[in-house]
Amino acid sequence: MKENLSPIVLDIAYDIAGDVKKFQEMFSDREVYNLQADDAPSDLSCIRYALVWKPRPDLYSRMPDLEVIFSVGAGVDHILNQGNVPDLPIVRFVDPTLTNRMSEWVCLQCLMHLRMQKHYERSQNQILWAQEHHPQACELRVGIMGLGELGQDAAKKLDAIGFQVAGWSRSKKEISGIDTYDADGLEAFLSRTEILVGLLPSTPDTAGIFNRSLFEKLVQNTPIGGPVFVNAGRGKSQVETDIISCLEDGVLGGISLDVFDVEPLPEDSPLWAMPNAYLTPHTAAESDSTAMARYVSGQINRYETGQVLENVVDRSLGY
Amino acid sequence: MKENLSPIVLDIAYDIAGDVKKFQEMFSDREVYNLQADDAPSDLSCIRYALVWKPRPDLYSRMPDLEVIFSVGAGVDHILNQGNVPDLPIVRFVDPTLTNRMSEWVCLQCLMHLRMQKHYERSQNQILWAQEHHPQACELRVGIMGLGELGQDAAKKLDAIGFQVAGWSRSKKEISGIDTYDADGLEAFLSRTEILVGLLPSTPDTAGIFNRSLFEKLVQNTPIGGPVFVNAGRGKSQVETDIISCLEDGVLGGISLDVFDVEPLPEDSPLWAMPNAYLTPHTAAESDSTAMARYVSGQINRYETGQVLENVVDRSLGY
């Protein structure tokens, strides 16, 4: 049976030791080769599928029969930035497990800023009974930049909690109950936004988009002090020196960052110790290996039965 | 004009200096007397309404013509526990501003436990890039005890975020999309609950209800370690020595408390420094003075135009 179906090559540049077993279980009818393993085959010809994270430079030359590239994660900058990508479909990872986790992280960050969690964390450490006044979520305007699967789901959940939610995307999206803006409406979008949530892919267009000039266009006098910047898209979209200086001079009142220009965030980054800053180590939306195996299996099944692949990247857009 | 309408007496045992002005503005057509003020009248006869928090013992004897008692806050234990309460309607404070704030606090606490905020707080302080695995909200079962306005709204919002939500109340409540249990179903409710949220009033029946025996009935092996106890009802419903010992021996894996047996929480309470404990100083759901004035004004208007008062306390139940 196994020899009838093309194997899958895993070229994933982080430790996935435990996950390979899950992949092998999910693909009981075909081989799964982990290029990180000692027993990985050297001959990859005749293999049609690869699942990758920052693939090695010679992968494509070693896989002359490759037909589909699957991305670990919703973003594909880790593939496109490596260069020399053959003209094959690249399939992004889109799955409720990823979307849910991302929305839960976004909701958590917005609520922590709404309810001044840093203040209560400090008070508790100092054994202080220090009451504060808090606005309601419905008094705060959250704006999401990026309205793909992740942005749309986060918008719906923030709306259900009670926040006033708007969304921005390059091309106009219609989302029930949410005000949306397109490229031309960026200034209007920013001028009504008190908590800015970044869920943008990393592309040439988004590089450094979250900078001082943009932060200065946010509502400056908010019910929670200054405006807040929340980013779980990609670190390349933010200018970290601007974030730091904006926190220092009050153009920003707080941040929540899950992504960074360099990861892991270097120990000497001032971000670690900025006031009202919540940092997480790129764990907002983990790519669950069971879900990923199920997704890739489903897509291969579609492909081999003549249906179109889903979530194929438009290379002209970069996502 | 003002002499035609009964004044309102405020007997509120905390500093409301700034709020009195808001009340006076809202009640432009009638006098508002603050018993904490130096210029409070000594003669309170002929006055029909009082808005109280822990009223002074002689209030009722000084107000022989009192007709309605309004409570600052959703709970009325602060009135009933003072004793000698005349047989008059007691109106609880029910308002979206209070309900929203409470739900937002509950959602925040559940999300912080889901996403191990204590771990990330500690990692950030120690400048550590320390990734953790997180379940999705849909993998966690939250159970709410108390399904009044507050419990029902929290249930809906937790459900919208994605948690598996069930609710318990003494008498069965039907809530769309939420599993509900009544008094007889307590054991079944607890045995499916991983995060327990307390939103119960303080009554003789609820005194000390959150104790070791109850915590031991929660699901012990949860996707986030041990079960979590979240309380924003009343401190009298929890046995704090049990909470502490259950955190120590692992019967509880974490807590979020906004209410305490004694408030402010004494400096020598071990709760301040327990692991995986989030404490807030009774700020989960603040009674917004503008909203309260609007509410009391609306209720008095109903009363004086022959409509029934809303949210009148059933003294046999204590809420």
Crossing angle of the two packed helices A96-114 and B149-161, in degrees rounded to 10: 140
d(Cα A45, Cα A63) in Å, to the nearest integer?
5
Work out the pLDDT band at B3, boundaries 50, 70, 90. low
Q: Which of B170, B192, B282, B294 is catalytic?
A: B282
Whether the CB-CB separation of A40 and A34 falls below 8 Å is answered with yes
User: Closest chain B residue to A265 measured between Cα atoms?
Assistant: B129
**Distance (Å) of CA A4 to CA A1, A7, A33:** 6, 9, 16
Residue B95 reports pLDDT greater than 70? yes
% of chain B with per-residue pLDDT over 70: 99
Residue B236 · residue B207 · CB < 8 Å: yes
Distance CA B82, CA B57 (A): 7
What is the rounded average pLDDT of the residues B152-159? 98
Q: How does pLDDT run across B50-60, given as a tens digit for each residue?
A: 999 999 999 99
What tens-digit pLDDT sequence spans chain A (319 residues)? 465 799 999 999 888 777 888 888 888 889 999 999 998 999 999 999 999 999 999 999 999 999 999 999 889 999 999 888 999 999 999 999 999 999 999 999 999 999 999 999 999 999 999 999 999 999 999 999 999 999 999 999 999 999 999 999 999 999 998 999 999 999 999 999 999 999 999 999 999 999 999 999 999 999 999 999 999 999 999 999 999 999 999 999 999 999 999 999 999 999 999 999 999 999 999 888 899 999 999 999 999 999 999 999 999 998 9
Residue A120's pLDDT is what? 98
What is the enclosing helix (H) or strand (E) of B103? helix B96-114
**In chain A, what is the greatest distance between 2 CA atoms, to the nearest angstrom?**
68
Q: Is A106 helix (H, G, I), strand (E, B) or coil?
A: helix
The answer to ipTM > 0.85 is yes
Dihedral angle over CA of B203, B229, B145, B115, nearest 10: 150
The answer, yes or no, to whether residue B195 has pLDDT greater than 90, is: yes
Residue A2: per-residue pLDDT: 61
Closest-CA distance, B102 to chain A, in angstroms, reads 9
The two tokens of residue A258 are 């899950």
The SS3 call for residue B80 is helix
The pLDDT, as a whole number, for residue B19 is: 83
User: Is pLDDT at B44 greater than 50 in this prediction?
Assistant: yes
Contacts of A130 in chain B (CB under 8 A): 281
The closest alpha carbon to B210, from B163, B181, B244, B248, belongs to B244
* pLDDT of B157 over the 50 cut: yes
Residue B1, pLDDT > 70, answer no
List of chain B residues whose C-beta atoms are within 8 Å of the C-beta of residue A114: 104, 108
Chain A interface, mutation test: which of B97, B101, B126, B129, most A Cβ atoms within 10 Å? B129
Mean pLDDT score, B255-279: 98
* Interchain contact, A136 vs B101, CB within 8 Å: yes
pLDDT at A129: 98
**pLDDT for residue B11:** 95
Probe site for chain A from B16, B115, B156 (most A CB atoms < 10 A): B115
pLDDT band per the 50, 70, 90 thresholds, residue B234: very high
Q: Hey, which bits of chain B come out as E strands?
A: 8-12, 32-34, 49-53, 68-71, 90-91, 141-145, 164-168, 179-181, 195-198, 228-231, 254-257, 277-279
pLDDT at A18: 78
What does the alpha-carbon distance between residue A277 and residue A265 come to, in Å, rounded to a whole number? 14
Amino acid letter at A180?
Answer: T
Query: Which residues are CB-neighbours of B68 under 8 A, at least 6 positions away?
Result: B48, B49, B50, B88, B89, B91, B299, B300, B303, B309
Q: Which of B100, B111, B286 sits opposite A107 (nearest CB)?
A: B111
- A115 vs B97, B104, B282: nearest CB: B104
Confidence label for B201 from pLDDT (cuts 50, 70 and 90):
very high
Could you tell me which residues come within 8 angstroms of residue A54 by beta carbon, excluding any fewer than 6 positions away? A13, A78, A79, A82
Q: Is B104 in Cβ contact with A161 (below 8 Å)?
A: yes
Name the pTM for this structure: 0.94
Q: Is A234 a catalytic residue?
A: yes
* Alpha-carbon span A223 to A244, nearest angstrom: 22
pLDDT of residue B177 exceeding 70, the answer is yes
Residue A234 is predicted with a pLDDT of 96
Mean pLDDT computed over B284-304? 93
**Disruptive mutation site among B260, B276, B280 for chain A (greatest number of A CBs within 10 Å):** B280
pLDDT at B4: 79
pLDDT attached to residue A289: 87
Check: CB of residue A7 under 8 Å from CB of residue A47. yes
